[in-house]
Structure 1
């Protein structure tokens, strides 16, 4: 099965196996580039998609990876308050720093170790799906497994809409 995966997804599958992760990489028939597309292909809620959003820290060009619930918009000000001023990461930066194309950025196995944060809202869920190195590849994991695989802190990263008074 692993031998039939695209190269980047095969690399993730081998890394997961090496770390003792119990679930296989799954190839979606349609792209999983967006949380909605991935959720539709998996038959799960958008919230269960652990989406990877990469930023560039302005002070040192370090990659900053936020693993957020697919249902949440990320609050860049909250992230910047924790790690420093941010800039958007273009496709070249994403590929160079992670080793993955946009839409396939996995929480593990990066070319350059990123500063990483995990959305606290993911902890309320039993089961998550994360990209596995390719826009059509995903793998299943629990929130605890995500924390163990990444070693990342769990923080509030979601943009919370406030009601106008």
Structure 2
């Protein structure tokens, strides 16, 4: 990875996510944009929603176990790593681009909340529940999909947590 056609890799990641959504019986449309939706602000501008409605995926590396930890948070929030540590039972370490790509199958900026190569520990930001609909990355930096907070919880089989930095 890292060599070859990034566009082809992104296309495969988006298709993999689409297959996961299909397995769940969800008819959720994946939208592609000509410009990147890599940041929460870019995604909100392209979609026409608020930044708070963006469900941004942040990948951490378990500092003691090396496991993949996925935090899905509102686009306006910063993650409190102490709260994440309390929830997962170990400090969350930084995950570099190679770790993210290798362990999730997605590039940073396109990490979807589901469809990972390796099943992550998932924490959902309870602030996302304030919105009727939210938007998540769909496997590539230019792809997103709309869903409800309840659908996100069902897809990830994860619980809601207070993980926002005060």
TM-score norm. by structure 1 comes to: 0.92
Partner of 1:6: 11
Whether the 8 Å contact between 1:29 and 1:41 is mirrored in structure 2 is no
Q: Distance in 1 between matches of 2:87 and 2:155?
A: 21
Q: Distance in 2 between matches of 1:148 and 1:7?
A: 24
Give the superposition deviation at 1:22.
Answer: 2.0
Partner of 1:117: 123
Match of 1:23 among 17, 28, 38: 28
Q: Distance in 2 between matches of 1:22 and 1:125?
A: 20
Give the superposition deviation at 1:24.
Answer: 1.1
Partner of 2:83: 78
How many residue pairs match? The answer is 156
For residues 68-147 of structure 1, what are the structure 2 equivalents within 5 Å?
68-83=73-88, 84-147=90-153
TM-score norm. by structure 2 comes to: 0.91
Give the superposition deviation at 1:81.
Answer: 1.3
Spell out structure 1 runs of 4+ moving beyond 4 A. none
Secondary structure of 1:126's aligned partner: coil
Partner of 1:34: 39
For residues 150-161 of structure 1, what are the structure 2 equivalents within 5 Å?
150-160=156-166
Consecutive unaligned residues of structure 2, counting only runs of 5 or more, are 1-9
Q: Structure 1, residues 83-105: CA drift from partner, whole Å, max 9, x if none?
A: 11121100000011100000000
